[in-house]
Amino acid sequence: MSTLPLQPLSVDDLLCTSALSADDFDSVFATAAALKAGRETHTDLLGNRRLAMIFEKDSLRTRFTFDIGMQDLGGTAVFMDHRDARLGSRESVKDMARNLERWVHGIVARTYKHKVLEEIAANADVPVINGLSDFVHPCQSLADFLTLREKWGSVQGRTLAYVGDGNNTCHSLIHTAAKLGTHIRVCSPEGYEPNSRVVNEAMRTAQETGSEITILNDPAAAADGADAVYTDVWASMGQEDEIEERNGVFADYQVDAALMARAKPDALFMHCLPAHRGWEVSQEVMDGPQSVVYDIAENRLHVQKALLVLLIA
C-alpha cells in the first residue's frame, strides 16, 4: 500500500515535542516531506481510519489541516465543538476517553488545561495528539521547523529569536530548538517569560545537542544577527480579559521593520497565526518578503499528515 519509508515513532501519543527522540524528529520530517511531494499519491494510507477532534477553543489551521489531512489519506474525521462546555462538565474526561477509544483510531484534542489532555491520553488506548494546550503547541513547532529545514537545509547552529509572550507556542519552540541543536533567544517583558521548568529542561537537552538557550528582555538584543524572528499573540485564548493590560506591557515588543533590520538581511519572519496586525507584528513585516507565515500554515497539513500516518496507520 505504502511506498513511504516509514520509521515508527518511539511514542504512542504526541503531547509535547520534548518527548520525541532525534530519530522521531527525522521520521516526522522525512514522512512529511514525502507526503508533501506526493499529495495525490498517498491517498489510501488511512483507509477506514477515523479520527475524533475535540476542541475547547477556536481554530482555523489546526481544525482544517487535521480534517483535510484525514481526507487526503482516505480516512474520516469527526469534530466535536466544546467551546461552550469545557471537557469534563457533562461526563468525566476519563469516561469520554473510554468511549471514544471504542469508535476511533486516534484523538486530536485542543484543551485549556494540559492536564486534561494528559487525562485523555491516560484513559484512551488510541493515540492522542495535542492540538494546543495552555502549556505547549507541538504540531505548530513541528511545522515551524519543517519550514526552517526547507528554507535553510539544516537548522543546527542557526539562531531563532522569539519576541513576545512566553506561552504555549514559545514553550514548544524552546523544546524543539533544544532537541534539534538550534539556538533560541526568547525575549519577553518581565513577568511574561517562559516557564522555568521548560527552560531548565531545554538547557539540559542543549548540552547534548549544542543548542544555546538564552532568555532576555531586550527585543533588539534578541533580534541582533538572528536567522529568524518569531512572534505570537500577546494574549492567548483564555486570556481575553487581560488584553488591555497586555497590550500596554508588550507595546515595545512589536516585530516591525526596525526590529527585523537588526536580524540578518535574509532573516525569516515567523508567526503561528492568527496574527494581530499592528500589535505583535506590523502590517509591513507580516506581508513583507521575509515573512514565511503561510508556508508554515501549509506545512501544518503535511506535518500532521505525517503524525497521523506514523501514529494511527
Catalytic residues: 110, 137, 140, 232, 272, 300
Minimum CB distance to ligand CP smaller for 183 or for 300: 300
Return residues touching ligand CP (CB under 6 A). 59-62, 132, 140, 272-274
Residue 73 C-beta: closest distance to ligand NVA, Å: 23
Minimum CB distance to ligand CP smaller for 140 or for 254: 140
Minimum CB distance to ligand CP smaller for 172 or for 182: 172
Minimum CB distance to ligand NVA smaller for 42 or for 82: 82
Q: Does 232 bind ligand NVA (CB under 6 A)?
A: yes
Minimum CB distance to ligand NVA smaller for 124 or for 296: 296
Q: Does 169 bind ligand NVA (CB under 6 A)?
A: yes
Q: Which stretch binds ligand NVA (CB under 6 A): 100-108, 232-240, 263-271, 283-291?
A: 232-240
Q: Which stretch binds ligand NVA (CB under 6 A): 2-10, 70-78, 230-238, 251-259?
A: 230-238
Given the C-alpha cell 484534542, which residue does it identify?
109
| Cα dihedral 187, 192, 197, 198 in deg (nearest 10) | -50
Position closest to ligand NVA via CB: 236
- Please pick, from the candidates 168, 172, 205, 254, the single residue that binds ligand NVA as defined by CB under 6 A: 168
Select the binding partner of residue 232 from ligand NVA, ligand CP, none (C-beta < 5 to 8 A, by kind).
ligand NVA
- Please pick, from the candidates 104, 142, 229, 233, the single residue that binds ligand NVA as defined by CB under 6 A: 233
State how far the Cα of 238 lies from the Cα of 17, in Å rounded to an integer: 23
Select the binding partner of residue 167 from ligand CP, ligand NVA, none (C-beta < 5 to 8 A, by kind).
ligand NVA
Residue 55 C-beta: closest distance to ligand CP, Å: 9
Q: Sort strands 76-81 and 128-130 into parallel, antiparallel or unpaired.
A: unpaired
Q: How far is CA 294 from CA 20, 32, 289, 301, 304, in A?
A: 26, 17, 12, 11, 16
Strand runs labelled E in 165-293: 183-187, 213-216, 228-231, 268-271
Q: At residue 171, what are phi and psi to the nearest 5 degrees?
A: -60, -45
Largest CA distance in the chain: 55
Minimum CB distance to ligand NVA smaller for 27 or for 168: 168
Q: Provide the mask over 115-154, with x wherever binding to ligand NVA is found by CB under 6 A and - wherever it is not.
A: -----------------x----------------------
Q: Residues 120, 128: contact at Cβ < 8 Å?
A: yes
State how far the Cα of 121 lies from the Cα of 123, in Å rounded to an integer: 5
Residues 6+ apart with CB under 8 A from 153: none
Q: Does 237 bind ligand NVA (CB under 6 A)?
A: yes
Residue 198 cell numbers, joined: 521548560
Sign of CA dihedral 15, 16, 19, 23: positive
CA 220 from chain center: how many Å?
Answer: 25
Q: At residue 115, what are phi and psi to the nearest 5 degrees?
A: -60, -35
- Please pick, from the candidates 129, 139, 272, 307, the single residue that binds ligand NVA as defined by CB under 6 A: 272
Binding site for ligand NVA (CB under 6 A): 132, 167-169, 232-233, 236-237, 272
